Amino acid sequence: MKRKILAALLASTMVLSLVGCGGGSAETPAAPAADSGAATEEAAPAADSGDAAAEGAPAADASAAGGEETLTVWCWDPAFNLNAMYEAEKVYQKDHPNFKLNVVETPWDDIQTKVTTAATSGDLSTLPDIFLMQDNAFQKNVLAFPDVCMDLTNSGIDYSQFAAGKTAYSVIDGKNYGVPFDNGAVVACYRTDILEQAGLTIDDFTDITFDQYLENGKKVLEATGKPLISMQAGECDLIMMMLQSAGASLFNEDGTANITGNDTLRIVMETYKSLKDAGVLTEVNSWDEYVGDFVSGNVAGTINGCWIMASIQTAEDQKGNWAITNMPSLVGAANATNYSNNGGSSWAVTTKCANPDLACDFLKSTFAGSTELYDNILPSGALATWAPAGDSDAYATPNEFFGGDAVSAKIVDFATKVPTNITGAYYYEARNAVATAITNYINGADLESELQTAEQTINFNMQ
Amino acid sequence: MSKPKKMTLSKKQNLMGWVFLLPGALLIFIMSFVPMFRALLLSFKSGVGANMKWSGISNYIRMFQDTVFVQSVKNTFFYLIIQVPVMLILALILASILNNKDLKFKGLFRTMIFLPCATSLVAYAIIFRSLFANNGLINLLFVKLGILDQPYAFLTNTTSARIVIIIALLWRWTGYNMVFYLSGLQNIEYSVYEAAKIDGASAVQSFFKITVPLLKPTILLTAIMSTNGTLQLFDESVNLTKGGPANTSITMSHYIYDMSFKYVPNFGYAAAMSFLILILVAVLAFLQMKVGDKRD
Amino acid sequence: MYLFLIIVSFISVFPLYWMVSAATNKSAEVISGRLIPGTYFFENWKNLMAAQNVGRAFGNSFKYAVILTIVSLLVSSLAGYGFEIFHDKGKDILMSIILLAMMVPFVATMIPLFQMFSKAGWLNTTIGFILPTISTPFLIMMFRQSARSFPHDIMEAARIDGLSEIRIFFQMFIPTMRSTYAAAMTITFMNAWNSYLWPKVIMTDATSQTMPMVVANLTEGYVTDYGMLMLAVLICTLPTAIVFFCLQNAFAEGITGAVK
């Protein structure tokens, strides 16, 4: 009897593992090749330096793959990034008929989890050939996992054609690790119909300072009862945008925290608090609420990366009532400008990639070399940071939602004027520390002691 | 069983017991204890990303100097002390009401009360955030009823943010615990209640005199589970308050997750903090077992 | 009493109602707090089907959850039964040790576990999905606690009648403990259906994506279509709700009196 039950258990385990393996191998034709043994061998030489791998590996691998040119890509957002990859595939296939992409939709958080897991456990075989990385996470990932991303400095990509403020995100120790993709240039968006009630126009918000912004905001508040802008509490998006607009960062060149000695940061914090105290800026709890505020007209506008315009346009009934311009500049800060950046992402090639030449050539001929691609993806809202794309006629097309303005060309122009700043590997830690400081400062705490605490927290994290 | 003449039988049965629990125990050993042991080794290393070096107990010292972590421990215990007892008592009351034979629409009520824990996290997070938003339903209601003069930012003030998290937890897990009590109640003869009723016992009396003592094994189970769940609380902190304002509602697991996947990864430190959670849960569970796990 | 129940039920169901009504509204309407059902359901449906391979993800989730539930219930109830019915000091201590296994946050053990699974070649497989959670301290403890009320006298009687231990388990324990099994089944199915962190680490293929992953995909874009998202979430919630509704009589009405 005992034996019977054991046999039954064994049998069921076997059936299950068969189901498991059967399912797995049927669904993943690439599975045998992805065996850990082969993969680590590939990863090991590539780990020392991207160049060595680029020269050594491809020939052998290309023949092994039987001339098939397939690349696996991880990225998120079907309407945006996935669409861009599919269009890039079409563009590249014109010259390379055998070329194929295997795009796996993976949210950014999941990409980060998978990359971290794979890199920490020392098994890179599960990674794709190319993945999309948030610009803010680039420094961190290259520092923590130097084996994951390939050095693309000598890949033949002409980085001078990208906006400098954008490329800087993926440059570590003078080496390029990413191909810049979508534009995060900051736009200030306003409901012109609401401004009108306060006797203001979009021109009153163009090339202004935050002092003027505050005065205008008070007028709007008086006339309509609506704040100019809402921001997520505890996420210091606006703080970071203000900082970068004056070319300032939370870190010094040498990577040390730059908080207590940072006069620009002090101005930013005071500006933010004055907006909040006047009621011109209101804080909300979540992203949904933030979007809900401008979609349903609870606020007169917003300031964010240009990708926010896609969310604004979901409010179809407000067509023609929106306009965009540049953001206000800081008063009293050295190098203050009306331009900044928030968000955006870049493509990274992994060292696991079996055919790095193909991956580089693909990116070079598409995202770093095809106006056709950028024209094709423009309708989805994907704006280039690659300068030649901005000269295309498609970018001069007026957008009726934004009052017939040629918004695309405008944003590409903004992007070229964004000051470069330092992200820092400990970007997220610093951001959280500053968010804590601004929260306490708004609630009445002393600015100097909050900044000191923030610097201590960051230094503690960097130990 | 302990009679001498049954000695061989008892030995045989003892062996049978091991056969029964072997597959389960073995799986837990391989799938949990092996990785746990490796995580334990990791907790004595430190470094950035995959580049780790032995560092003794420095990670364990570090966490007591880490103000954010200390804050997260305090927050988590705040949730534990308030939420677990309230939830378990509420679940017990609901279960005993729904166990009543004469109640109409029992199935419907049960399903409705269970539904919150089946609701996907995404939906539940969005709903709670919008309910407690500045222009959300709760504020609207409170202002209309005159309780508040103007909308209150529930999720950006420390005390109210913590209370919202507790409410969310109660909403989500009370029905879940009720299920265990309902199933546990089936082992109590319904006639016992009828007899008590005839003897003139009130509903409250039979609740305390019959239900609670007989459900003791199940109550112990749910108490240990809820303690464990609350000390590892993650979803609510991440999705409702993002740990804010200024880290005053962040939980331990949330901080550990950030340390592993959001910040520059420091897995040694993350592992060390995880083992502190293990120690805390283990001590609490041990105390609960001491009190509740006695065979009559 | 009814009033109390109605209030509790209302609070419990309100978010679900909101979800259903949101699934029939446009994104901008959902986000501005519209509570009344709209007419946008079919548009949302069409968009969702175009954006995501819901059918495949649903099938995957269903396959993983069903297999895991069956195997897990068998293995864990055997163990729980073994721990309680044949309990002695050694087994009680072992039980306490096993409980430790659930007390470490999964984030800490995930990476060593991933290493094991990737070496074994179990990424993107069913076995990879189910293996870590087949035997859980929670289920073992649950069956151990409920086995405590399994009457010893009828077991002794069965033994005297010459029934083997295995047959006592399958022919007497399982039918008697139907209510526990039903509750365990609901919970296990729900956990398997909603599990996210582990699957997202080991499932790297588009073809092995599960329902929670589809929902996550929808929240990650620059623009979130809330109407479509809520529809996906609704589809993701229904199976657990249905399983619960079907099983709730089994564990709540029980088999009182059958055991004596």
pLDDT means per 10 residues, chain C with 260 residues, are 87 85 85 80 90 92 95 95 89 90 87 88 91 92 87 86 89 87 91 89 87 87 84 90 83 45
User: Quick one: closest CA in C to B232, which residue?
Assistant: C105
Chain-chain contact of C33 with B281 (C-beta, under 8 angstroms): no
Stretches in chain A below the pLDDT threshold 70: 1-68
Chain-chain contact of B264 with A288 (C-beta, under 8 angstroms): no
Domain assignment present for B4: no
Chain-chain contact of C82 with B20 (C-beta, under 8 angstroms): yes
Q: Is A284 on the interface with B (CB under 8 A)?
A: yes
Which token pair is A413? 């122009």
Sign, CA dihedral A87-C60-C79-B227, equals: positive
C207 vs A27, A120, A311: nearest CB: A27
Which DSSP string corresponds to C217-248?
Answer: HHHSSSS--HHHHHHHHHHHHHHHHHHHHHHH
Three-state DSSP class for residue B43: coil
pLDDT of residue A35: 36
Chain-chain contact of A233 with B129 (C-beta, under 8 angstroms): no
A 10 A CB-CB count for A423 gives 23
What would you report as the CA-atom Rg of chain A, rounded to the nearest whole angstrom? 25
Rounded to an integer, what distance in angstroms lies between the CA atom of residue C221 and that of residue A343? 12
Chain-chain contact of C126 with A102 (C-beta, under 8 angstroms): no
Rounded to an integer, what distance in angstroms lies between the CA atom of residue A409 and that of residue C72? 59
Rounded to an integer, what distance in angstroms lies between the CA atom of residue A244 and that of residue A337? 9
Three-state DSSP class for residue B213: helix
Rounded to an integer, what distance in angstroms lies between the CA atom of residue A113 and that of residue A111? 5
Q: How far is A184 from chain B (nearest CA, A)?
A: 21
| Number of domains within chain B | 1
pLDDT of residue A47: 35
pLDDT of residue C75: 95
pLDDT one-digit tens code per residue, A72-109? 999 998 888 888 999 999 999 999 999 999 999 999 98
Which token pair is A53? 């791998």
Residues of A in contact with B260 (CB under 8 A): 116
Mean pLDDT of chain A: 84
B245 vs A109, A233, A463: nearest CB: A233
A117 vs C110, C121, C219: nearest CB: C110
Pairing of strands A301-305, A130-134: unpaired
pTM of the model: 0.86
Rounded to an integer, what distance in angstroms lies between the CA atom of residue C208 and that of residue A276? 47
**Chain C interface mutation, best of A40, A73, A132, A314, highest count of C Cβ atoms under 10 Å:** A314
Q: How far is C91 from chain B (nearest CA, A)?
A: 8
Q: Is C34 on the interface with B (CB under 8 A)?
A: no
B123 vs C85, C100, C230: nearest CB: C230
Give kind and range of the element (H or E) at residue C70: helix C54-85
Q: How far is B16 from chain A (nearest CA, A)?
A: 9
Phi first, then psi: give them for residue A177, nearest 5 degrees.
-110, -5
Question: Which domain does B131 fall in, by range?
Answer: 65-292
Q: Are B214 and B131 in contact (CB under 8 A)?
A: no
pLDDT of residue C225: 85
B245 vs A234, A461, A463: nearest CB: A234
Query: For residue B257, what is the domain's CATH number?
Result: 1.10.3720.10
Q: How far is C12 from chain B (nearest CA, A)?
A: 6
B39 vs C108, C230, C233: nearest CB: C108
Rounded to an integer, what distance in angstroms lies between the CA atom of residue C210 and that of residue C214? 7
C118 vs A1, A36, A109: nearest CB: A36
Give Cβ neighbours of residue A292 (< 8 Å, ≥ 6 apart).
A298, B130, B133, C31, C32, C33
Residue with tokens 């440059």: A171
Give Cβ neighbours of residue A418 (< 8 Å, ≥ 6 apart).
A163, A165, A166, A185, A186, A244, A337, A339, A340, A341
**C-alpha A281: how far from chain center:** 25
Which DSSP string corresponds to A68-122?
Answer: -EEEEEEE-IIIIIIHHHHHHHHHHHTT-TTEEEEEEE--HHHHHHHHHHHHHTT
Residues of A in contact with C225 (CB under 8 A): 314
Q: Are B98 and C9 in contact (CB under 8 A)?
A: no
pLDDT of residue C253: 59
Which token pair is B178? 């009720």
Task: Tell me the ipTM for this assembly.
Answer: 0.86
Q: Are A216 and A119 in contact (CB under 8 A)?
A: no
Which DSSP string corresponds to A339-377?
Answer: --B---EEEEEBTT-S-HHHHHHHHHHTTTT-HHHHHHH
C75 vs B27, B123, B128: nearest CB: B27
Residues of C in contact with A126 (CB under 8 A): 118, 123, 204
Rounded to an integer, what distance in angstroms lies between the CA atom of residue A9 and that of residue A165? 61
Q: Are C150 and C177 in contact (CB under 8 A)?
A: yes
Query: What would the CATH number be for the domain defined by A53-183+344-390?
Result: 3.40.190.10
Q: What is the residue extent of each domain of chain A?
A: 53-183+344-390, 186-340+408-462
Q: Max CA-CA distance within chain C?
A: 71
Rounded to an integer, what distance in angstroms lies between the CA atom of residue B112 and that of residue C53? 30
Pairs of residues, one from chain B and one from chain C, whose beta carbons lie less than 8 Å apart: 261
Q: Is C174 on the interface with A (CB under 8 A)?
A: no
pLDDT of residue B295: 66
**Chain A: partners with 3+ C-beta pairs within 8 Å:** B, C
Domain assignment present for B245: yes
Chain-chain contact of B133 with A120 (C-beta, under 8 angstroms): no
Residues of A in contact with C113 (CB under 8 A): none
Helix, strand, coil % over all residues of chain A, rounded to 5 = 55, 15, 30
Q: Are C59 and C239 in contact (CB under 8 A)?
A: no
User: Quick one: closest CA in A to C51, which residue?
Assistant: A78
pLDDT of residue C179: 84
Pairs of residues, one from chain A and one from chain C, whose beta carbons lie less than 8 Å apart: 138
Q: How far is C126 from chain A (nearest CA, A)?
A: 4
pLDDT of residue B296: 54
Q: Which domains does chain C have, with CATH numbers?
A: 17-252 (1.10.3720.10)
Torsion angle defined by CA atoms of residues B110, B112, B113 and B115, in that order, rounded to the nearest 10 degrees: 120
Sign, CA dihedral C54-A75-A37-A353, equals: positive
Give Cβ neighbours of residue A280 (< 8 Å, ≥ 6 apart).
A213, A214, A217, A218, A220, A221, A227, A228, A229
Chain-chain contact of C201 with A117 (C-beta, under 8 angstroms): yes
Q: How far is C208 from chain A (nearest CA, A)?
A: 8
pLDDT of residue C248: 78
Query: What would the CATH number be for the domain defined by A186-340+408-462?
Result: 3.40.190.10
Which token pair is A28? 């993943």
Partners of A386 in the beta sheet? A162
Chain-chain contact of C51 with A78 (C-beta, under 8 angstroms): yes
Stretches in chain B below the pLDDT threshold 70: 1-7, 9, 294-296
